[in-house]
């Protein structure tokens, strides 16, 4: 958000104390789960009078669907969810990731790794030491994760989360053997570079957060606050299959999908009743939104603790 000069503010006080974002990967059209993350992160940012940014995470060409990035942005526009600042694209930011990687390598925090999937199969895919049987022309680069790297953080919705990254994940891939940047490195670099204070996203990424925190520490970057939204479930209460979850939301009829996301966020449907168009619905949603009502939802793992609910 371009801050206007405001003489009444002390220059020491940042204009925006809250900076959130929505960071879709263009691997398909926006679906119910991604709309929940977009709308939920937008509502929390607006509730805090903060900025809300959109970042296109087009970092994985093998998984990218041609035209999907633009369709996702068009759908967001149809839903009235517009980025407060210029949209960054990860495909334009390779130099930043390279810089971070070089620093980790120079500090001895990262290392080249020739291990293949097959080499690591006996260890369940978890890398603790190199066991490569042959060198690879283009080794991966991994973050060295010390034994017993217990990371704890307080998620605003999911409560207290702990993970022993060494045990659960092992040495984290930063640059893949196919030469592409790993999501984990790019997201940490970009959240810091864009001054993101609050990461709000689906609970499917809860498991990635401890390794992102380790990476922030290794790079000397601040750790943002985290809030992981409930997963979108099917009518039978079970997690949506990949194909169900990939069912796109209809940009031509945004109101039903927004009502649905609002309900999944635990908010009272009556607050949006009678909304005739998107701007009207969003204004009502902003006014009525209560973060304390967001349900925790089923969690992939980890234990319960403090949250919006019992604070």
Does 29 participate in binding ligand GLU (rule CB under 6 A)?
A: no
> Which CB, 24 or 170, lies closer to ligand GLU?
24
Does 142 participate in binding ligand GLU (rule CB under 6 A)?
A: no
Give the interface segment with ligand GLU, choosing from 23-31, 122-130, 213-221, 293-301 (CB under 6 A).
Answer: 23-31
Pick the closest to residue 305 from 199, 204, 228, 216 (CA basis).
228
| Minimum separation from the CB atom of position 225 to ligand GLU (A) | 13
| Minimum separation from the CB atom of position 296 to ligand GLU (A) | 18
Query: To 10 degrees, the CA torsion angle through 268, 271, 272, 278?
Result: -110
- The answer to whether residues 71 and 29 touch, using CB atoms and an 8 Å cutoff, is yes
Does 83 participate in binding ligand GLU (rule CB under 6 A)?
A: no
Does 57 participate in binding ligand GLU (rule CB under 6 A)?
A: yes
Q: Which residues pair with 22 in a beta bridge?
A: 54
Among 187, 213, 229, 245, binds ligand GLU (CB under 6 A): 187
Among 18, 19, 20, 24, binds ligand GLU (CB under 6 A): 24
Among 23, 110, 161, 189, binds ligand GLU (CB under 6 A): 23
Task: State the binding string over 194-223 for ligand GLU (x if CB under 6 A, else -).
Answer: -------x---x------------------
Strand order in the sheet with 172-175: 110-113, 140-143, 172-175
Give the per-residue SS3 of 33-100.
HHHHHHHHHHHHHHHCCCEEEEEECCCCHHHCCCCHHHHHHHHHHHCCCCCCCCCEEHHHCHHHHHHH
- The answer to whether residues 307 and 159 touch, using CB atoms and an 8 Å cutoff, is yes
Positions touching ligand GLU (CB under 6 A) are 23-25, 57, 187, 201, 205
């Amino acid at each position: 958000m371009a801050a206007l000069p405001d003489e009444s503010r002390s220059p020491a006080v940042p204009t925006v104390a809250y900076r959130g974002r929505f960071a879709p990967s263009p691997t398909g059209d926006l679906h119910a789960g991604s709309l929940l993350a977009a709308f939920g992160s937008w509502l929390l940012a607006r509730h805090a009078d903060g900025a809300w940014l959109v970042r296109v995470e087009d970092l994985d060409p093998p998984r990218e669907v041609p035209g999907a990035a633009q369709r996702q942005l068009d759908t967001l526009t149809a839903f009235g969810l517009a980025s407060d600042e210029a949209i960054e694209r990860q495909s334009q930011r390779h130099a930043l990731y390279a810089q971070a990687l070089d620093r980790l390598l120079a500090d001895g925090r990262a290392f080249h790794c020739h291990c293949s999937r097959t080499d690591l199969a006996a260890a369940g895919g978890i890398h603790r030491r190199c066991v490569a049987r042959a060198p690879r022309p283009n080794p991966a680069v991994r973050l060295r994760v010390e034994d017993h790297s217990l990371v704890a953080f307080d998620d605003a919705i999911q409560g207290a989360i702990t993970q022993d990254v060494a045990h659960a994940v092992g040495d984290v891939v930063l640059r893949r053997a196919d030469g592409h940047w790993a999501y984990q490195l790019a997201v940490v670099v970009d959240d810091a570079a864009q001054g993101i204070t609050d990461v709000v996203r689906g609970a499917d990424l809860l498991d990635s957060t401890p390794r992102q925190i380790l990476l922030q520490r290794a790079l000397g970057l601040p750790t943002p606050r985290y809030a992981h939204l409930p997963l979108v479930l099917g009518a039978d209460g079970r997690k949506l299959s990949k194909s169900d979850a990939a069912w796109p939301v209809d940009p031509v009829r945004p109101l039903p999908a927004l009502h649905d996301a609002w309900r999944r966020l635990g908010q009272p449907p009556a607050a949006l009743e009678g909304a005739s168009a998107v701007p009207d619905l969003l204004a009502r949603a902003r006014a009525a939104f209560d973060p304390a009502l967001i349900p925790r939802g089923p969690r992939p793992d980890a234990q319960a603790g403090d949250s919006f609910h019992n604070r």
